[in-house]
Amino acid sequence: MSEQTLLKVTVDNITIEVPAGTTVLQAARQIGGAVAPPAMCYYSKLQGSGGKCRTCLVEVSKGSEKDPRPMPKLVASCRTTVMDGMEVKNITSEKVIDARAGVVEFLLLNHPLDCPICDQAGECHLQDLSFEHGKSSTRYEFQRRTFKKHDIGKHIQLHMTRCILCYRCVFVADQLTNKRAHGILDRGDHAEIATHIEKSLDNEFIGNVIDVCPVGALTDKTFRFKNRVWFLKPMDAHRNCPTCSGRVTLWNRGDEVFRVTARKDEWGEIEDTPEGKPGWICNTCRFDKKHAADWIIQGPREISRHSVIAQGHYAGNIGTTLPTEIFNAVNEGRSPHLLMDIHNESEVNLPSVHLSEIEGPSHGTTFNNNINKPNK
């Protein structure tokens, strides 16, 4: 069959045609912008990933053209395939927004929030997620679970305390390396990623677990505590590597190469090579080639969404493909995405606050104490 049947799917009132077998999440990503649900565990390049973190839950308000009944529960958009005529509500559904806020709270329960000393800060998906969908405080008042740090292999450190158990690294080891040496031990909230009896991971492609980790649980020991990602300049580069594609992003400061990562697209996933294969890189490229002379520089890296470096430079299509009337209505005026978020969160901007009525110099606590906050 040369001609593929296209199915119509509507996400947040925007209709798009996609080939059969596409997931709701992929369809929403094709629309882009705020319509795409966040995903912490799903990784399109890893078979079988997804469905676990529950951040991508969406409401299916119409099953399909044939069977228009809505689905009874929220579904994980990353694992639900599109049916013809399906109507999906993401940010237009209050149920979804409520459930997602709940999931973010759950994910942060046992997360240490040690962002100030975490190497992932600035490109952490959990940071983005909690900023966009979470609440500013937690209701959890008990001790968080902690683990000792483990060195798994020469170059990778595992800090289980930060882990959100997305299973991505397990899938990487399963699908990229010939002999998986790590997995999940125990179950429930005491489950942990571990190698059995402190074995080290030494496969040539195991370094990719660092790239797929959405949080700072797996970090590059050659880069740990060396620099903040937002002080570094990402440059596309390549080398003639016998084992991998050799297409990487160098993170430079001046001429010094601080770290090497695979190239990531706007969803934080590994970019495909021109041949259409996922651009995983080998440990040699990642850990050993730390001189500018090792690489042929191609030019500055296009800014990815999931990085603080993207601030103000992100070239994605937020706000461009969305019908404005809907967007404004559902987003409570969050049209300029980031700025309005800050505006909404800041108490200084509450319409009920009259600056002239506050006595003395004012700061955050003054506002909190002196004003009657309207129910937000």
Partner 1 sequence: MGVKLLLEKANVPGIRTYDVYRREGGYVTAEKALKEMTIEAIVEEVKKSGLRGRGGAGFPAGMKWSFIAKPEGVPRHLVCNADESEPGTFKDRYLMEFLPHLLIEGLLISSFALGSNDTYIYIRGEYAWVATILEEAIEEATKNGFLGNNILGTGFDCRIHVHRGAGAYICGEETALIESLEGKRGNPRIKPPFPAIQGVWMRPTVVNNVETLAAIVPIIKMGGEEYAKIGIGRSTGTKLISACGNINKPGVYEIDMTISVEDFIYSDEYCGGIANGKKLKACIPGGSSVPILPANLLLKTAKGETRYMNYESLSDGGFATGSMMGSGGFIVLDEDQCIVKNTLTLARFYRHESCGQCSPCREGTGWMEKIIQKIELGKGEISDIDLLWDIQRKIEGNTICPLGDAAAWPVAAAIRHFRDEFEWHINNRELSQTSNFGLQHYADPIHVPA
- Residues near partner 1, by CB under 8 A: 50-55, 57, 73-74, 76, 79, 98-99, 102-103, 105-107, 109-110, 139-140, 142, 164-165, 167, 183-184, 186-191
Task: Kindly tell me which of 100 and 264 has the beta carbon lying closer to partner 1.
Answer: 100
**Closest separation between CB of residue 47 and partner 1, Å?**
13
**Closest separation between CB of residue 57 and partner 1, Å?**
6
Task: Kindly tell me which of 179 and 187 has the beta carbon lying closer to partner 1.
Answer: 187
**Closest separation between CB of residue 48 and partner 1, Å?**
9
Handedness of CA 266, 267, 273, 274 (dihedral sign): negative
Task: Kindly tell me which of 59 and 271 has the beta carbon lying closer to partner 1.
Answer: 59
Question: 29 to each of 10, 21, 43, 88, 191, how far by Cα in Å?
Answer: 12, 15, 13, 13, 31
Task: Kindly tell me which of 191 and 338 has the beta carbon lying closer to partner 1.
Answer: 191
**Closest separation between CB of residue 170 and partner 1, Å?**
10
Nearest to 259 by CA among 269, 250, 267: 250
Characterize the bridge pairing of strands 156-159 and 75-76.
unpaired
Task: Kindly tell me which of 24 and 103 has the beta carbon lying closer to partner 1.
Answer: 103
User: What is the full DSSP assignment across 216-251?
Assistant: TTEEETTTTTT--GGGSEEEEEE---SSS--EEEEE
**Closest separation between CB of residue 87 and partner 1, Å?**
19
- Alpha carbons within 13 angstroms on the beta-carbon side of residue 290 total 10
Task: Kindly tell me which of 55 and 208 has the beta carbon lying closer to partner 1.
Answer: 55
Residue ranges of E strands in the chain:
6-11, 14-19, 57-62, 75-76, 86-89, 149-152, 156-159, 182-185, 192-195, 218-220, 233-238, 247-253, 256-262, 296-300
